[in-house]
Amino acid sequence: MKLTNLIWVLALAAAVAACNTGPPITGIPPATGGTGGSGTGGTGGSGTGGTGGMATGACTNDADQAVYDSLTYTDEAGATTTGSDAAGAIGSDCIFGAPDASIPLDGCGTEASAVIACFATGCPQDTIDALANCVTACTQDATGLSSECVACTGDTVACGAAFCTTQCVADTNAPQCIQCRCDNDCIPAFDSCSGLPPTPPAVCD
């Protein structure tokens, strides 16, 4: 396993979190899923189309805000973060685990290693989804954030792994990496999904 590949997988989750580490936006109505257009439905005749995808602002509800308000995390290097920064750090450490952190994390080493093994030739969707699902479950178990909120993180990890490994393998802060994640809607989709303000603002403008 190349060290740069390992660094990329670790950095991917950190870069995902770094794009959105501000406090949740407050004072907006509860998020609801979009609806499809009227017309012929799927199996079962005419009617209204199905519901849309992940609701905008999945992390801005009162329950998730309460989690952020009380969340503190100290990683294995001794760095302590709070609030959504702590959630981002936990999501990052969920990639390979952090058994000696203040919140011990088993991590997703098997799933991350599978992505490392196949990224050069193209990973099967099941492999990418397995990493995203594991990161989602690990983050939720450690934080207590809602499943809707943590799914935004898992989807973003999967997006970066699926589309931007080549551009991001050496440096997740490289312009070509950021551009790839913007072009493939990884960063904007997380912003929209979570409702958390991006840091730095408007990185994909």
pLDDT digits (tens, 9 = 90+) for 143-197: 999 999 998 888 887 788 778 877 877 776 788 988 998 999 988 888 889 888 7
Number of domains in the chain: 1
Is residue 36 domain-resident?
no
4, amino acid identity = T
Is residue 15 domain-resident?
yes
pLDDT computed for residue 56 by the predictor: 55
Query: Which span out of 43-47, 79-83, 152-156 was modeled with the highest average pLDDT?
Result: 79-83
Is residue 32 domain-resident?
no
The CA distance from 22 to 59, in Å, is 12
Name the pLDDT band for 26 (thresholds 50, 70, 90).
Answer: very low
- Average pLDDT of the residues in 15-43: 39
Is residue 135 domain-resident?
yes
The CA distance from 30 to 180, in Å, is 31
Is residue 201 domain-resident?
no
pLDDT computed for residue 168 by the predictor: 79
Is residue 180 domain-resident?
yes
DSSP the chain: --HHHHHHHHHHHHHHHHTS-SPPP-SSPPP---BPPEEE-STTSEEEPPB-SSPTTTT-SHHHHHHHHH-EEE-TTS-EEEHHHHHHHHHHHTTT-BTTSSS-B---HHHHHHHHHHTTT---HHHHHHHHHHHHHHHHHHH---HHHHHHHHHHHHHHHHH-HHHHSS-TTSHHHHHHHHHTTHHHHHHHHH-PPPSSTTTT-
Query: Which span out of 6-15, 39-48, 188-197 was modeled with the highest average pLDDT?
Result: 188-197
- Give the residue, 189 or 74, on which the prediction is more confident: 74
Query: Which residue range forms the structural domain that includes residue 74?
Result: 3-21+55-194
Is residue 113 domain-resident?
yes
pLDDT computed for residue 200 by the predictor: 61
pLDDT computed for residue 27 by the predictor: 37
pLDDT computed for residue 50 by the predictor: 36
Is residue 28 domain-resident?
no
68, amino acid identity = Y
- Average pLDDT of the residues in 104-124: 88
- Average pLDDT of the residues in 12-21: 42
